[in-house]
A and B are shown apart, each in its own frame.
Chain A
């Protein structure tokens, strides 16, 4: 497409004049456009490499309020001399022509150079001297400067002009000094060619319903757009980025045949800890790690039969074949309300309701857990965990590794390893690491294991192997969106929400 047809009407109006004019103000004058329109057109033309805009900062002098007036009327000292050249004037006569302040300046100045004589009669009387008359015959340097085209660049002034400028700058609001950006517009070689073309062509700029209905466009040409130019950004509505990631994670487990578990954030310690065989004096139960509730501080325990099984299991192992923790189990401690420390509480609840005829069964949950931490860039008191359990007579430790490997493969981490670990409710227990493909190192992402019989038998009534894992998600989310500070995941900065890429896995 030839360039001429791509030009905006403003560009077409300005371009031919650039051959003869190089400043924005001149171009505005000759094209009949406003300065802003000229500026915009020039910028577009510059983008098309048809012209260059050279911007220079320069010190200039420009006319001030009085300067404009004196340029028309002449400087006060000339008016003063002209008046007294005809006949001597008194102060009151002069004040009809000039302001008091102007008269005072003139008296001072003219007396110093001996151009006037002053007599004191009833009033002061001013008359002209010979040297005064001589002054009237020719134009002063000051007057000559004032008649030039302003603004004037300071560095273009002659020596006498700049002396005159200094004098005038001392006087009240005649001229002022300023710093301005001077733009010089010059056509490029390409620009010169285009400027010579016939730009006065009749192109249709906007397609309007009226135009379409009338059919007036037929046989005419449309202005071509620069389709490669950048456009302003827009943004639309979308899900929060963490929820996008969680949705994908959920879909992996659903594809693997897992049922979703959901549930509350507030639980009694009974469900979150005791049912999971966490001893009542375990450090995890200490105030500094776990959020306890003030109101309501305690909840109720479930049916007696289950409570008594859990109590016995803690105290002496009940019928699980375990020795138990061999200490007294307090039901009051079990009633304490806490914010769930892990999503494993949902697994405990699920197991307590699971019927033997529904086996094998697999469940997962994705949800927030809470840890009483002081927040900083790598610690949050709320974090996401994905939980999974497999309840199956035949399930074993090798299967556990199989499920974890499959999950992480789909998350983009093909290499998974397990290391010995420890959790009060699993045995064997394993820490789960994935190999970070970019950082080239093993990264710990969670814990796993097989639920102890002390967990499964009291909850279900019979012992069945239950594979279980709880994996942290915030790290994966943080990595995906290159978030440095974990808190930024929940900052809800509207700009960030608008600009973040989608979860693309």
Chain B
């Protein structure tokens, strides 16, 4: 989860007082953020993905300030008209269809504030903007730009400028191949015939979005007093929220926000719109959901602690809160304001019948029988590999279920044979005392078109007896004891199976159906697993014996 680093002095200034560490720690976790670490100068908190508005000092401070009751209720953000335009050409429609823009003036930037602007931009990019896929932000010193600005798309060969952190002009494809930021985000424009750029009235390229700004017109310094801000991407409402979150943070830093007219071929929109959204609510519903009974006044006070405005039958949702999409989302904020620690646990006295899964119950019975035979139950991973599950067992089947993206080469295949997993366990226990008699019940995986996923998961029981005396009779006795105890009839028929020794292997048949094999393990299999003790084993489809 993303973290945000907060300067404690800034936070103290925002909330207007200095809280003792203990109290602050407690409030941080009860606000719905996770404290990662705290020292005298800094606090690092994790922000849940539904609250991108808290990914800045200003945003976190604003929320904490309301939560502590210092400044509650809806905050009004004043947007003045700049009259400036951003012209969106039809070329961007298939490349990067939307942008929303704003101007911020009266910025009194210092290193601290610049660092903060970079932090919020980065954090939003990583999280809410889905690594710039859903939206990308550009911030430019206004004094370097000649209005109006055009948002258009150009052929790669027509794009040439000096990107940030580079010492020369580069062509678009050169940036994607050589510039560190270009290489990192190149996949976002892969396959596009044209790339999206912002350029000013002098045809000076401001940025190649979502990749990088120009060094000349896209670098904010402490001399910058005014900035042009754009957010572009495939989702208009995401762009809007990103711009709102950003401009509100700048406004909280003391900037004055100005709107711009974004002129699309078919319409013109004025952005940003920092006024709140109205959401219907039912106090009955919210009370019932939480199991509490607040009156309207208490409800209002609590919601104001979360930065909302409350009217008679509407809640005013701040423009920086994209997560409120249903009134249940208000319930959570209400619960946070009310205090998670305040809820009284209540176990309903309603009777419902409990019921254990029938197969699970049967599994336990089988376990009792096998433990009575001095066998140890093992518990192996569901994920294994082809070498172990098939090759070492001398199996040549192809209906295995393979993973696409495992991080470890040893774990790439869903368990194909439970007996293979038991053999591996024997191979890892050669230093321990014999006999080693093991069993495990679990799923094996096969491709099967009849299933919804194309994967059949069979519950199997596998048993292996390993030690100087292990041989066919010993495993056959186990099978016999098991079926006799379960009051079931079975037959065995001579059979051939690569994992077992020829002439000492049989098929197990119940009600005319093959349910598995038993026999002495092929010495080659023993050697493959590094076991130098005889072993006899079996694997049967469990669900068949359950039926």
Contact = CB atoms under 8 A, between A and B. Distances in A.
B237 to A, nearest CB: 6
B407 A372 contact: yes
Contact of B352 (A257, A368, A450): A257
Given A296-B454, A392-B350, A428 B332 contact: yes
Contact of B457 (A259, A265, A450, A454): A265
A168 B388 CA distance: 64
A420 B326 contact: no
Interface stretch (B10-18, B429-437, B534-542): B429-437
Contacts of B375: 237
B453 A337 contact: yes
A302 B453 CA distance: 10
A260 B370 CA distance: 24
Contact of A243 (B48, B346, B377): B377
A324 B237 CA distance: 12
A20 B151 CA distance: 112
A339 B445 CA distance: 12
A487 B474 CA distance: 32
B455 to A, nearest CB: 4
B367 interface: yes
B374 interface: yes
Contacts of A323: 325-326
B238 to A, nearest CB: 8
Contact of A492 (B48, B340, B378, B411): B378
Contacts of A430: 340
B377 A238 contact: yes
A266 B356 contact: no
Given A296-B453, A418-B340, A494-B376, A428 B331 contact: yes
Contact of A337 (B351, B356, B377, B454): B454
B516 to A, nearest CB: 21
A292 interface: yes
Interface in B300-353: 325-329, 331-332, 335-336, 340-341, 343-348, 350-353
B371 interface: yes
A203 B332 CA distance: 83
A266 B401 contact: yes
Contacts of B402: 293-295
A260 B360 contact: yes
B191 to A, nearest CB: 18
B407 A490 contact: no
A417 interface: yes
A317 B325 contact: yes
Contacts of A454: 326
Contacts of B133: 281
The A contact surface, by secondary structure, is mixed
A406 B407 CA distance: 38
A30 to B, nearest CB: 39
A253 interface: yes
Given A291-B403, A293-B402, A422-B32, A260 B376 contact: no
Interface string A280-310: 0101000110011111111110100000000
A288 B31 CA distance: 29
A327 interface: yes
Contacts of A392: 348, 350
B354 A253 contact: yes
Interface in A142-188: none
B404 A294 contact: yes
B348 A399 contact: yes
Interface string A471-505: 00000000000000000011111110110000000
A326 B235 contact: yes
Interface stretch (B261-269, B286-294, B488-496): B286-294
Given A237-B371, A254-B355, A291 B406 contact: yes
Interface in A320-377: 320-324, 326-327, 337, 339, 360-362, 368, 370, 372-375
Interface stretch (B115-123, B212-220, B379-387): B379-387
Contacts of A257: 351-354
B356 A260 contact: yes
Contacts of B31: 420
A260 B291 CA distance: 27
Interface in A411-458: 416-422, 427-430, 450, 452-454
B357 A262 contact: yes
B487 interface: no
B432 A397 contact: no
Interface in A382-424: 382, 392, 394-399, 401-406, 416-422
Contacts of A256: 354
Nearest to A299: B453
A452 B30 contact: no
Given A260-B356, A374-B407, A236 B347 contact: no
A396 B290 contact: yes
Contacts of A321: 326-327
Nearest to B429: A494
A320 B51 CA distance: 22
Q: Across chains A and B, which 6 residue pairs bring their CB atoms closest together, nearest first?
A: A420-B32, A396-B291, A398-B291, A296-B454, A422-B48, A428-B332
27 contacts: A236-B371, A236-B374, A240-B378, A247-B364, A256-B354, A265-B443, A283-B130, A288-B405, A288-B407, A291-B405, A295-B400, A302-B452, A337-B453, A337-B454, A360-B350, A375-B408, A382-B381, A397-B289, A399-B348, A420-B31, A420-B32, A420-B340, A422-B49, A422-B51, A428-B335, A453-B328, A490-B379
